[in-house]
Structure 1
Amino acid sequence: MKKVTSVFWITLAITLAASLWGVLAPKNFETISGNVKTYISIHFGWYYLLLVSIFVLFCLYMIISPFGKIKLGKPGDKPDYSYSTWFAMLFSAGMGIGLVFYGAASPVSHYISTPPTAEAGTTEAIRDSMRTTFFHYGVHAWAIYAVVALVLAYFKFRHDKPGLISATLEPLFGEKMKGPIGKTIDVIAVFATIVGVATTLGFGAAQINGGFTYLLGIEKQYWIQLVIIAVVTVLFMLSAYTGLSKGIKYLSNANMGIAAVLFVAMLIIGPTMYILNSFVDTLGNYVQKLPDESLRISPNNDEERQWIMDWTVFFWAWWIAWAPFVGIFIARVSRGRTIREFLSGVLLVPSLVSFLWMTTFGISGIQAQKDGADIAKLPDEQALFGVFDQFPFAVVLSVLAMMLIATFFITSADSATFVLGMQTTNGSLNPPKTVKFAWGVSQSTIAAVLLYTGGLTALQNALITAALPFSFIMILMVFSLYKALQQDKKELDQQKNKSTSSSYSA
């Protein structure tokens, strides 16, 4: 533990205090976290929508600007991983359980129970539902990850800075980032990561429990979810001990393999032509209405505004809370790529895969609902299994889905232990195993406490609360990157001009 910094001890203390609060006074924990979440949703909903839209525009600008040619690394650096492995690793870390959890639940819910704007159960509600699902899992989500990952990769691999959030702000604040202010920023980033990942682990445990309930009739109970978390904790800690190149790489590729089998199977046995036609139609609808959807807050419609708070603001907060973890992880595996190549890959490829996935499972769920299966009345964690039950090979598909949830569960937690270890050992690319073990246990403890205090509602409350302070740091990171890039480009132009002058002189 010699490598650990004060960030480790401070954040660990905060995590333990939050855990004890949740265990000793669960009702009080649930009430206060709910009140904070409500306050943030009401007063900062506009802020989340505007901020994430700005991140999208910033990423697009960086792709087309001259900055896009700058490499995330030294001039001679080559990418550490092939495209296929790179995509598998960033996708497994960046989305994972969320796609499986909400793949059928969100589209069906938006169609029949909570349509954004259209009348429930109508054809227009289907289009509304699928477009909204694309919106929540598309370029906006990946722009949040891309911003953090880009800033970290740039400063780490091009300027040899420690892989810390605070280190990326040195162009703005200088040596202050090595003192108490910098430590505070790193503590906020680490705690947001813990809550973000713990929330996802909670969703994963709930859905595995939901699979047992639907398939085996085992009632949804907290102790079952606790056992699931404990078993998966042991598995992801074993994976974490093998290191990035082995455990996480192999698990990421395994994730993509299982996901591909499940996706192709559902595409074939589901309403294939309906799925393909809906994908094309929704893609066009999504692109066409993206500007309006990005900033829609509905100030004159209380019901519609509440829907935006419950869904869009929740998703943006989820992605922001995950951004320190996913951003650091994506940065770690992206050395050697240009800014243009990096942003194009991170924004477009995972978004397209998400669209295909959500269309396949969402449309299958909607078709099952139209055919008489009441998927909408099932809890979110059981919706996917309810859809499988309407098609051939239901048991096989359900088992595959639970395997996929488990591997995504393990990969997310595995990656997070590495990232948290890195953030609390001054950016070490090989954090001590004892540090990773401490963070692995902490993540699982917070997930268990949040499930104990209020189930999925408590998870959502904690997520939105943890995301807000880190969103302010993300704004500073964008300004810091832009300032550093301007200086970098100026120096490159001067070198180019000197080289040109020398050739003319010769």
Structure 2
Amino acid sequence: MSDIPAPFTDIDINTSERGFYEGYSLPITLTSKIAVALLTAWALLRPGSAEAILSLVNGEVLDSFNLFYVISVGLFAWFLLFVALVPSSGRRRLGKPDEKPEFSTFSWFAMMFGAGLGVGLMVYATAEPLGLWNSNPEIVRGNVAPHSAEALQSTFRYTFLHYGIHAWGIYVVTGLCLAYYAYTRDMPLTIRSALTPILGRHVNGPIGHAVDVLGVVATILGVAVTIGFGVSQLVEGVYSVTGMEWLLQPGENGAAPTPSAVGLIAALVVVMGLSIMSAVSGVGRGVKYLSNLNLILSTALLLIFVVFGSFGFALTSYGSALVDYAEHFPALSFEAWSTDTELGKWQSGWTTFYWAWWIAFSPFVGLFLARISRGRTVREFVLGAVIMPALVCFAWMTILGGTSIDLEMSGIAQGSIIDASQTNKLFATLHYIISDRLYGIVAVMCVVLVLTFLVTSADSGLLVINTIMAGGEEETSTVHRIVWGVLLTLVIAALILAGGGGLAVLQNAMIIGALPFAFVMVAMCVSLAKALYRDHLRDQQATEMATT
């Protein structure tokens, strides 16, 4: 066997040596700030134009790249399963051979859960199954009727698709790629490091800067949408406890009331203020403690639904849905339809929307997962960050969502949960399963849980943004964390106001911003496959030399 050259690890990200930007890369930081500032100014000064143009471009992106998104995400999931199961790659440790994990398994899982899907679960644990019970491919084909018992199987099949192995696989692809180079090759914890096997020295120039900027912008937009949905549910929860009418505005065409722009901005300011305080304290304190609290409160909420909700119905649904999901997993991975058909329109509006959202969120969650996973093996990282969170998400969706569906199927709710706004379905469901006296206590707990999930997501996002701009340095400037906290608050507020208090403009901007990073993720998988293979050859060569 010929000698395998050593991998390229000489990444040189020039950072400022003095002044306000000391320790930060000026090309990455200034380009990111300019992009965010332009988007914010456009949304504030020309809200009608921003809403119309972003909506148009968003539609084109979903239609034109539907197949690309579906195939890419399917490949991510299968790639990770292959890497974890192959002995030579699965047993590799993300760090030195004898290095121990920095965080306990409980704290590791709590931080991963809170940063990855905490807010999404609070909003969509009831909204997702109810939405798919009304519209999924089997219903579109006419095989089953909406809101029927026959539609339950396909409802949970696609619920599990959107919140299962594929969703977490998107995050873990990014996280594994970053962690592998950072902790096995002592390279900077930044996006460009994951492309060194195919770009080599070119990562030190404008190409590397562009990759990192895409990561920062995608993170900002992904976090913005998540916080947008979260503050909407926070407003709904506070209203249900206090009854303050200024928090809501009438729904369009007789629909259920929705959070007002004033209510959303007020909640946003509170959340971001707390997030900045937590981000300043760092990952080892603020994020860890909040994440542990999140997991405890989440378990408490789940137990409330187990005790007072339709647990028997949910348990039956969970088992049958898990078997159905496993049977259809290969087909679901690459199931793509033309956007000219009704099925294609459904897919672009549901599945592709989710894939774009998770991809936009992946630089943040991926880098954060890498940051907290040093010392774990590749197999432990993949199974612990893909399979276990997916199973927990399935439980949430079937227990909370199954209770909502059971209340509607039995005629108890009489359509009131279905008709509730997306971010109010959780509170609407709670009204039916617990007494008014207990509801006040549980609603307050839910408000606290949403708030802590939001703070965890936002402060983790701030830590990640600063890590990328500082060339992979994990200890970054407190002042810059505060500045980016303010900027993130402004961009979310501007996009909320541009949408008249709605979240459509936020979603459109996020989907558009996710597309370039989706191509980066495909390249990252190719790079990691090459790195793992060549490292395996180097190990074989070292073993042969040691035995001769």
Q: TM-score, normalised by structure 2?
A: 0.89
d(CA) in 2 for partners of 1:349 and 1:372?
34
TM-superposed CA distance for 1:217, in Å, is: 5.5
Structure 1 residues 189-228: aligned runs within 5 Å: 189-215=215-241, 216=243, 218=245, 219=248, 220-228=259-267
Residues 1:39 and 1:270: Cα distance change in structure 2 (over 3 Å)? same
TM-superposed CA distance for 1:499, in Å, is: 2.4
Secondary structure of the corresponding residue to residue 104 of structure 1: helix
Choose the corresponding residue for 1:36, options 57, 64, 70: 57
Choose the corresponding residue for 1:335, options 374, 379, 384: 374
Query: Are 1:108 and 1:369, in contact at CA under 8 Å, matched by a contact in 2?
Result: no
d(CA) in 2 for partners of 1:210 and 1:307?
28
TM-superposed CA distance for 1:418, in Å, is: 0.6
Name the residue aligned to 2:12: none
Choose the corresponding residue for 2:342, options 303, 313, 337: 303
TM-superposed CA distance for 1:136, in Å, is: 0.4
The one-letter code sitting in structure 2 at the alignment partner of 1:265 is: I
Query: Are 1:74 and 1:157, in contact at CA under 8 Å, matched by a contact in 2?
Result: yes
Name the residue aligned to 1:290: 329
Choose the corresponding residue for 1:74, options 96, 103, 109: 96
Query: Are 1:166 and 1:182, in contact at CA under 8 Å, matched by a contact in 2?
Result: yes
Name the residue aligned to 1:472: 519
Query: Are 1:202 and 1:450, in contact at CA under 8 Å, matched by a contact in 2?
Result: no
TM-superposed CA distance for 1:484, in Å, is: 1.6
Query: Are 1:116 and 1:129, in contact at CA under 8 Å, matched by a contact in 2?
Result: no
Name the residue aligned to 1:356: 395
TM-superposed CA distance for 1:439, in Å, is: 1.6
Structure 1 residues 263-274: aligned runs within 5 Å: 263-274=302-313
Give CA deviations for 1:1-45 in whole Å, capped at 9, x if unaligned: 311112111101110110000000011101111111100111111
Give CA deviations for 1:422-478 in whole Å, capped at 9, x if unaligned: 000111110111111122122222221221122221122112111100000011111
The one-letter code sitting in structure 2 at the alignment partner of 1:196 is: G
TM-superposed CA distance for 1:249, in Å, is: 0.5
Gaps of 5+ in 1: 502-506
Matched, 1:389 2:431: yes
d(CA) in 1 for partners of 2:396 and 2:381?
23
Query: Are 1:110 and 1:116, in contact at CA under 8 Å, matched by a contact in 2?
Result: no
Secondary structure of the corresponding residue to residue 338 of structure 2: coil
TM-superposed CA distance for 1:302, in Å, is: 2.3
Query: Are 2:219 and 2:362, in contact at CA under 8 Å, matched by a contact in 1?
Result: yes
The one-letter code sitting in structure 1 at the alignment partner of 2:162 is: H
Residues 1:496 and 1:182: Cα distance change in structure 2 (over 3 Å)? same
Choose the corresponding residue for 2:466, options 413, 417, 421: 421
d(CA) in 1 for partners of 2:533 and 2:51?
46
Secondary structure of the corresponding residue to residue 389 of structure 1: helix
Choose the corresponding residue for 1:100, options 111, 116, 122: 122
TM-superposed CA distance for 1:300, in Å, is: 8.7
Name the residue aligned to 2:496: 451
d(CA) in 1 for partners of 2:330 and 2:31?
41
Q: Percent identity?
A: 35
Give CA deviations for 1:232-280 in whole Å, capped at 9, x if unaligned: 1111111111111010000000000000000011111001211111111
d(CA) in 2 for partners of 1:412 and 1:99?
13
d(CA) in 2 for partners of 1:127 and 1:444?
40
d(CA) in 2 for partners of 1:208 and 1:77?
41
Name the residue aligned to 2:200: 174
Matched, 1:132 2:158: yes
TM-superposed CA distance for 1:287, in Å, is: 0.8
d(CA) in 2 for partners of 1:21 and 1:453?
9
Query: Are 1:214 and 1:386, in contact at CA under 8 Å, matched by a contact in 2?
Result: no
Give CA deviations for 1:103-123 in whole Å, capped at 9, x if unaligned: 101111222x32432311211
The one-letter code sitting in structure 2 at the alignment partner of 1:9 is: L
The one-letter code sitting in structure 2 at the alignment partner of 1:59 is: L
Give CA deviations for 1:62-117 in whole Å, capped at 9, x if unaligned: 01112112111121211111111111111111111001111101111222x32432
The one-letter code sitting in structure 2 at the alignment partner of 1:420 is: I
How many residue pairs align between the two structures? 500
Structure 1 vs Structure 2 CA RMSD: 1.4
TM-superposed CA distance for 1:298, in Å, is: 3.2
The one-letter code sitting in structure 2 at the alignment partner of 1:402 is: V
Name the residue aligned to 1:144: 170
d(CA) in 2 for partners of 1:109 and 1:486?
43
d(CA) in 1 for partners of 2:239 and 2:71?
40
d(CA) in 2 for partners of 1:203 and 1:388?
19
d(CA) in 2 for partners of 1:19 and 1:245?
32
Query: Are 1:30 and 1:458, in contact at CA under 8 Å, matched by a contact in 2?
Result: yes
Name the residue aligned to 2:24: 4
The one-letter code sitting in structure 1 at the alignment partner of 2:491 is: I
TM-superposed CA distance for 1:213, in Å, is: 3.8
TM-superposed CA distance for 1:382, in Å, is: 0.8
Query: Are 1:207 and 1:381, in contact at CA under 8 Å, matched by a contact in 2?
Result: yes
Secondary structure of the corresponding residue to residue 99 of structure 2: coil
d(CA) in 1 for partners of 2:43 and 2:291?
33
Structure 1 residues 431-446: aligned runs within 5 Å: 431-446=476-491
d(CA) in 2 for partners of 1:344 and 1:300?
34
d(CA) in 1 for partners of 2:382 and 2:53?
39
Query: Are 2:353 and 2:511, in contact at CA under 8 Å, matched by a contact in 1?
Result: yes
Matched, 1:16 2:42: no
TM-superposed CA distance for 1:214, in Å, is: 4.1
d(CA) in 1 for partners of 2:218 and 2:338?
29
Query: Are 1:73 and 1:157, in contact at CA under 8 Å, matched by a contact in 2?
Result: yes
Residues 1:116 and 1:390: Cα distance change in structure 2 (over 3 Å)? farther
The one-letter code sitting in structure 2 at the alignment partner of 1:47 is: F
TM-superposed CA distance for 1:498, in Å, is: 2.3
Structure 1 residues 103-114: aligned runs within 5 Å: 103-111=125-133, 113-114=134-135
The one-letter code sitting in structure 2 at the alignment partner of 1:41 is: L
Residues 1:385 and 1:155: Cα distance change in structure 2 (over 3 Å)? same
Give CA deviations for 1:309-338 in whole Å, capped at 9, x if unaligned: 111011111110001000000001111111
Query: Are 1:318 and 1:463, in contact at CA under 8 Å, matched by a contact in 2?
Result: yes
Query: Are 1:169 and 1:476, in contact at CA under 8 Å, matched by a contact in 2?
Result: yes
d(CA) in 2 for partners of 1:76 and 1:425?
29
Query: Are 1:171 and 1:484, in contact at CA under 8 Å, matched by a contact in 2?
Result: yes
Q: 4+ residue stretches of structure 1 with deviation over 3 A?
A: 212-215, 298-301
